[in-house]
Amino acid sequence: MPNTLIPAEERLILALDVPHPDAARSLVETLGDSVRFYKIGLELCMAGGYFELLDWLLERNKKVFVDLKFFDVPETVKSAVRALSGRGASFATVHGNQAIMEAAGAVKGDLKILAVTVLTSLDRGDLDDLGFACDVGALVLSRARRALAAGCDGVVSSGLEAAALKRECGDRLLVVTPGIRPVENRPADDQKRTVDVAQAIANGADYLVIGRPIRQAPDPQAAAWQVQEQIRRALQA
């Protein structure tokens, strides 16, 4: 089961994967109170004004997930996380080996560090290409154990592995789940290991990261409220 201490309305994290901070601000204003938590990633980082956007979100009482997947030599990651730790973000991602995760965990302060396990855009064939002989579930659990030992606060994982993660780690690790799709994927969708809202919550996911199904909806605010209602129902089931 997901952590009962997390407010239901904060479990939806909207992925602000848009090309410019102005587009991000416009979407946030459109969504209004339907979304409390936002993820800002690489696309916005490359557009300029990243930290100005972060501050703008915080000024509006939004929570922020910095999704830059820090992956570099440990000292560089440590310096980056130390610099970020005082900026007011709630979550940040690291994507590396044990030494990288430990470096991030050592200087995180109030920032919660999430270790990326296996990207939801990867399937068994992709792992074969990367040289991983184990199956996806085994790799995710191995990464989660290492993350916990390294001082990370949570993992980013498909909802397909959330139940196994909760059985293994309980509430010692947050489970943040991207790749949420309310309907079957379109052929052009790059997410391969997906679940819907109800399944993700039932499997124990603590937070759901959703982007395109809300951003591309005819009425994004209505779509966000619909997801919030689905989360509430799933938590009560």
List residues with catalytic annotation. Answer: 69
Cα 122 to Cα 120: distance, rounded to the nearest angstrom: 5
Helix locations, the chain, DSSP H: 21-31, 42-47, 50-59, 74-84, 98-106, 124-130, 136-150, 162-169, 197-203, 212-215, 220-236
Type and span of the H or E element at 154: strand 154-156
- Packing angle of the helix pair 136-150, 162-169 (nearest 10 deg): 40
Structure tokens at 234: 């799933």
